[in-house]
Amino acid sequence: MLSLASIMLAGQPYQTATLLEVQKKVSTTPRSYLWNTVVTYSETDTYELRIGLKDQTCVTRYTPMIQPSSLPVGWKTGQPIEVRVEKRKMFLRASYGDVETYIATCSKSRL
C-alpha cells in the first residue's frame, strides 16, 4: 500500500483529480419480523468512488447522511473533481461544500 502523504501536494490543500468510476451499493437491514419472515427493512446507499489522482488510483466510500440520496450533480464519471486528502479521508468538493469520504485503497495507476 502506498503512503497517502505521497499523493498530497505541498502547500495546496486541493488538487484536481478525475472521477473514474462510481458503483452504488445498497445494504438492507431488517427492522421487524413476523415469525421468521422480514416484514419491514431499511436500505442504505453507499457509493464506491474510484478516483484518479496524479499517478495513483484511490477507492473511497461515501455514505450520504440523508437516505436514500444520490451523488452531487457535478460528480460525473470522466469529469474532473477537486479533492483534498487528510489521513485516511478524502474530501471532495461539491457545489454545496465539502463531502467527506473514507479511503479504502490507493494503488499506483497503470499506464
Band (pLDDT 50/70/90 cuts) for residue 51 is very high
Is a pLDDT exceeding 90 seen at residue 23? yes
The per-residue pLDDT for 53 is 86
**Closest to 52 (Cα-Cα) out of 28, 16, 24:** 16
Domain ranges of the chain: 4-108
The per-residue pLDDT for 54 is 84
Q: Mention every residue, 6+ apart, whose C-beta is less than 8 A from residue 89.
A: 100, 101, 102, 103
pTM of the model: 0.76
Summarised one tens digit per residue, pLDDT across range 57-84 is 999 999 988 887 888 888 889 999 999 9
State the average pLDDT for the chain.
Answer: 84
Band (pLDDT 50/70/90 cuts) for residue 110 is low
